[in-house]
A and B are shown apart, each in its own frame.
Chain A
Amino acid sequence: MIPEIGHFALWLAAAAALLQAVAPTVGLWRNDAGLQRLAVPAAVAQGLFTALAFAALTWAFVVSDFSVKLVAANSHSMKPDMYRFTGVWANHEGSLLLWVLVMALAGLAIAFTPATLGSRFRDRVLSVQGLVALGFFAFLLLASNPFERLSPAPTEGQGLNPLLQDPGLAFHPPLLYAGYVGLSVAFAFAVGGMLENRVGPAWARATRPWVLGAWALLTLGIALGSYWAYYELGWGGWWFWDPVENAALMPWLAATALLHSLVVVMKRDALRAWTLLLAVAAFSLSMMGTFIVRSGLLTSVHAFAVDPARGLFLVVLMALYIGGALTIYALAAGRVAEGRQFHLVSRESVLVANNLLISAILGVVFLGTLYPMALEAATGTQISVGPPYFNRTTLPLLLAMTALMAVGPFLGWKRSGTGHLAARLLPAGAAAAVFVLVAAWPFGVRGVGWLLGFGAAAWLGAASLSMLLRKGVTLAIAGMALAHLGVAISILGATASGALQREALVALRVGDAVELGPWRAELLDVRPVAGPNWTAIEAQLEVKREGHRGAVLKPQSRMFVAPAQETTESGRAGWRTGELYAVLGKPDGSGRWQVHLWVKPMVRLIWWGGLLMAFGGLLALGGKLRAFAPHKWRRQLARPAQGAA
């Protein structure tokens, strides 16, 4: 019964989305205030019904109602409670339902945040948002119904891919989706801005909080996904340039560029057309990311749905939305006169340059991700483009960007002198020199790339810190400086863990030891252990360093009950900001066990940096919201007067 209620609620939510899309559009067109005013109640209805549908599916998962096909195919009564719950979105249909839920909640948020650009603009944005949501409701209801029943109901479910039974991956999709959906709001603002011809500083101020929030959530989601891949896949790496990873990275890059170009619109009323294009591109890339993951067009380690019919549906949706937005862009952006001019040495031009570099990174990632598909379609040749390509193309661009990121915040708007720069960048320059020397001499790092990485991290880190220490720091500036510091810390983590890593692949008997630089690892024991729905072989590997307390790593080889599958669990222990990381392989038949051991200095800084970036974004967002507050009170005070009139 409850699944049917959920199904029905989903139809009602779709109807509300239809109303939200059509009523304000017709109202605005025919100047019918009554129709136009339906936008807000429609958004509320859409939010409530979608939440109800989501609650119904969650209920089916939590009580293990295997008569629902989705539950039977993706859950199991023996699964731990938390994964029965997160199992809701660890599959195609459920994740789409989560997508529309977040989208509906964003609609609610638009309806209830103060309409700084007027109610007309808010209703326009809501109608665009409703139109986008409508497509995804159609996709859910017509091509991937999560409430489909199974008859006869099986007595037991098929289980959830053990790789997905993990806290890291359980909360990775909701974060990413919330980020994508935040970008859908920016998309709606861009389309609304073009239709209403409102693109300008006020529009940028209204759009930017959404982009900030979306960007922070995407940053968190990507950092979490990278951390998951690091400890769960057991390959010792933290970024694999896998198409699925690239699919999340590309919207993030576009959002980063958008975040910075919006500032230029806000402060200087320049770069309008470019900013609009970025806003459209950021959400388009989010949809394309979903398309890439869901359609199975790419061979990937973690694509988990393969269905061409659904792919076709998504292509049609994208054609409508992206094609429509770009058509409006081609027609309306010409009306959006470019704003004021600025000098080549100014904050604006550095932001433009960084936008350009981010776009170039986006371009090469896009090319590397899609080129194999294009080549196969054109010639039938199958190739794979991997880390060597992406590292070679993106890292130089990233390096140039880091160099500029330290300089930009010290420049003035419009036209800037350069006399003060030398003094302000002195700490950064000194820090970079010290880091490079220390890395090269006591630590013996060789290779220009690694040394440049250390230098860039120190350069940007020191510049961001000195920004924080200046007088008159606002929340917005602090957020920016912290986010930049986060980038520096991530670069430091990535460089140090790569340049100073030690690695050993050995076959050990119990009692054997292996030396790894100053470290010594001894295999103490290998024994079976059991978990809630798995059994495992667990090794106990004691890793010690002269004069320090040792740590015992416990890598496992797990056998899951449902579905029957093996996974590798890495054994890890922290050492300062670095990690000791071990993976247990198979026995070789003569009593030896394969063990892959890494020492990765400062590797945790990669994700700490990601967290700091997201925190910086949220801090800047906090600054915006505070600016909202008095405005809202003013409006509420003014409202009764309007009603009387």
Chain B
Amino acid sequence: MNRRLILLLPLLLFAGLLIFMAGNLGKPQEAVVRSHMVGKPVADFALEGVAGAPGLAASDLASGKPVLVNIFASWCLPCAVEAPQLQALKDKGATLHGIAVRDTPEKVAAFLARHGNPFQRIGNDDGGRMLIAFGASGVPETYVVDGEGIIRHQHLGEIRPEHVPELLAELEKAR
């Protein structure tokens, strides 16, 4: 046996391992998942209102004009971060509906009192069933739903200022 070769062996094994790991890294492995519901109608649902806002039902989404549906919760930090952007979207003429997931009415009311309420209707989804109806993997997520109630676009995570024109364009596209 060649001694030099043996001493080289660990390096070669490690190189192989490294190539494998680097290869694995190249693959997308995001934990967030794009909704499989984009392009499909929202399943029928009817949620009660919360914080003085009227409730939200599937029929409200098929109202003839595109709307934004924002899935949020009072316990979610990015939801607070995106509040000014939601307000900006509303000021630019977008219609927003909210779905509060796994929350209590008091906390939702307190959250909206502190961060502002840009929503026309808010559905209270204490079981979190709407996450699956929209194909969401977490909160916050924002969906563009067209006039026939079909989901056209999904925005994952918080809306940052640079996303506002993007969402307005998606709304325009869904018209």
Show the binding face of A for B, using Cβ within 8 Å: 72-73, 150, 152, 154-155, 157-159, 273, 277, 280-281, 284, 291, 295-297, 306, 308, 311-312, 315, 318-319, 322-323, 326-327, 329-330, 333-334, 370, 373-374, 377, 562-564
Contacts and interface: CB of A to CB of B under 8 A. Distances in A.
Interface in B1-43: 3-4, 7-8, 10-11, 14-15, 17-18, 20-25, 27-31
A326 B10 contact: yes
Contact of A329 (B11, B23, B24): B11
Contact of A273 (B7, B11, B75, B84): B7
Contacts of B114: 155
Contacts of A296: 29, 31
B10 to A, nearest CB: 5
A330 B23 contact: no
A150 B81 contact: yes
Contacts of A327: 11
B24 A323 contact: no
Contacts of A291: 21
Contacts of B65: none
22 contacts: A150-B81, A154-B77, A154-B80, A157-B77, A158-B76, A158-B77, A159-B75, A284-B14, A297-B24, A306-B30, A308-B28, A315-B21, A319-B18, A322-B14, A326-B10, A329-B10, A334-B3, A370-B17, A377-B20, A564-B73, A564-B75, A564-B103
Contacts of A297: 21, 24-25, 29
Contacts of B80: 154-155
A312 B10 contact: no
A374 B20 contact: yes
B25 A373 contact: no
Contacts of A318: 18
A330 B11 contact: yes
A330 B31 contact: no
Contacts of A323: 11, 14-15, 18
Given A280-B10, A334-B3, 17 more contacts: A157-B77, A158-B75, A273-B7, A284-B14, A297-B24, A312-B22, A315-B21, A319-B18, A323-B18, A326-B14, A329-B7, A330-B7, A330-B8, A373-B20, A374-B20, A377-B24, A563-B75
A306 B29 contact: yes
Contacts of A273: 7
Nearest to B73: A564
Nearest to A157: B77
Contacts of A155: 80, 114
A34 B3 CA distance: 39
Contacts of A157: 77
A92 to B, nearest CB: 14
A311 B25 contact: yes
B152 interface: no
Nearest to A277: B10
A599 B3 CA distance: 55
Closest 7 CB pairs of A and B: A326-B11, A158-B77, A330-B8, A306-B31, A564-B75, A330-B7, A333-B7
B87 to A, nearest CB: 13
Contact of B18 (A315, A370, A563): A315
Interface of B: 3-4, 7-8, 10-11, 14-15, 17-18, 20-25, 27-31, 73, 75-77, 80-81, 84, 102-103, 114
Contacts of A158: 75-77
A568 B140 CA distance: 27
Contacts of B15: 323
Contact of B81 (A154, A159, A281, A370): A154
A329 B14 CA distance: 13
Contact of A562 (B7, B10, B18, B75): B75
A284 B84 CA distance: 46
Nearest to B18: A319
B158 to A, nearest CB: 11
Contacts of B81: 150, 154
Nearest to A309: B25
Contacts of A370: 17
Contacts of A326: 10-11, 14
Given A157-B77, A297-B24, A326-B14, A308 B7 contact: no
A365 B77 CA distance: 39
Nearest to A312: B25
Nearest to B107: A564
Contacts of A374: 20
B102 A564 contact: yes
Of A155, A296, A329, A330, most B-chain CB atoms within 10 Å: A330
Contacts of A280: 10
B75 A72 contact: no
Nearest to B29: A308
A374 B102 CA distance: 38
B94 to A, nearest CB: 22
Contacts of A333: 7
Contacts of B77: 72-73, 154, 157-158
A327 B77 CA distance: 47
Contacts of A377: 20, 23-24, 27
A367 to B, nearest CB: 12
A150 B22 CA distance: 32
Of B15, B17, B18, B21, most A-chain CB atoms within 10 Å: B21
B4 A334 contact: yes
Contacts of B18: 315, 318-319, 323
A155 B110 CA distance: 12
B79 to A, nearest CB: 10
Contacts of B11: 323, 326-327, 329-330
A277 B76 CA distance: 48
A291 B76 CA distance: 28
A162 to B, nearest CB: 12
